[in-house]
Amino acid sequence: MNNTILNWNETDHRSIYLRQLKESPLYYVPNLNLWVVYSYAYCKAILQHEDAYIPEAVINDTLSDKGKLLLYNMARLGNGEHHDSARAAAMTVFKKIKEARTGLLLEELLSNTSTGNGFDWVETIAKQLPVRIILKGLDFENDDSNYIAEILQPLVRIMLPNKSEQDILMLNPVIDAVYHLAEKYAGSSGLLTGESQTDEMIICNLTGLFIQCYDAGRGLLCNTLLNMAKYADDKTPDWKKLVDETLRYEPPVHNTRRVAKNDISIGGQTIKAGETILVMLAAANLDDDVFSNPQQFDIKRGNNDQNLTFGLGGHNCLAKYFCIDMAADVCRFLAENYRQINILQKDFSYEQQLNVRLVKQLIISLK
């Protein structure tokens, strides 16, 4: 394995995954002090292992105080008891979100473009809809919702492991503004308890929810749309199954990282304490020990919901069912309101990101 696996524009990643599943399901890269885990069984074992920790967030001195709070308190970045507390705060936030009518929000976004003449699904829908569903469910006012939706792209850079000083200069005012809005609505919705540390965790994980829905939600909506246009027909009985199979076959998130807190024995090898583990979720989803004919997109597959895209164990994604339901609702709305989904481009370019495979532009028409 080498860094070319992350060049989504030039690399046949699926062929690499299938080869590694067969030849080296557990692979060590000496110069990087890195273990790469490909098989479903090994990925599952690491995701559920109590000594496989999330790598510690790098907190730059020049990051604003609110930015430091975010990185310290977000459940996605925590371990041990601190993670348990942060996850509980995130669950408190998630339970407060009221069900929003996805179709109405989708219709509103589509009303601003000429659907029959071709438009970019990424910019119009995929980058907008996930966070707007959350904001609507928490009764954010339109102006505040518009502001947060528009500045998410720079805001997600807080998750970069290595942030430049230019990144931080751009991030600090945005972080502080969004944190202030999250604090305002957490207070007005009754989420805050009056206990400062608990309230900080709630505000941070509300803000974190905005950040984390951006790339994963965008990628899922794009990949599901492409598969809907290609594979769905009048006999498609269950849009959720199409979404589940999309998450297995063409997930937006391809890998996640862990670090061994203590020695971990797996596959006859020992991952030593302090060594990094790259968990190849997208490869595990192609493991024929679990999924028959894994290279075939099959909506009727009996176990497509066993994909590892949202993780397992203590760090499994809290928004898993929210994302699945959102994408299924989008499919249902499109099927009920349009006769055709036309993909108006043949070649796709992908963002150069380490763990997610995201198409930059998706020009379609709806008729």
d(CA 286, CA 70): 35
The pLDDT score that the predictor gives to residue 4 is 42
d(CA 328, CA 4): 33
The whole-angstrom distance between residue 26's C-alpha and the CA centroid of its chain comes to 24
d(CA 72, CA 294): 39
User: What type of residue is 211?
Assistant: I
Asked if residues 236 and 242 have their Cβ atoms less than 8 Å apart, the reply is yes
By the 10 Å C-beta count (0-12 exposed, 13-18 middle, 19+ buried), 198 is classed as: middle
The pLDDT score that the predictor gives to residue 8 is 85
Residue ranges of domains in the chain, CATH in brackets: 3-366 (1.10.630.10)
Alpha-carbon Rg for the chain in angstroms: 20
The pLDDT score that the predictor gives to residue 352 is 87
- pLDDT, one tens digit for every residue, the chain (367 residues): 444 456 788 788 999 999 999 999 999 999 989 999 999 999 999 999 999 999 998 899 999 999 999 999 999 999 999 999 999 999 999 999 988 889 999 999 999 899 889 999 999 999 999 999 999 999 999 999 999 999 999 999 999 888 999 999 999 999 999 999 999 999 998 999 999 999 999 999 999 999 999 999 999 999 999 999 999 887 777 899 999 999 999 999 999 999 999 999 999 999 999 999 999 999 999 999 999 999 999 999 999 999 999 999 889 998 999 999 999 999 999 999 999 999 999 899 999 888 999 999 999 999 9
Q: What angle do CA 224, 331, 90 make, to 5 degrees?
A: 75
Picking from 217, 224, 215, 230, the residue whose alpha carbon sits closest to that of residue 244 is 224
Picking from 133, 195, 317, the residue whose alpha carbon sits closest to that of residue 203 is 195
Q: Where are the beta strands (DSSP E) in 207-343?
A: 256-260, 264-266, 269-271, 276-279, 341-343
Q: What is the pTM of this model?
A: 0.94
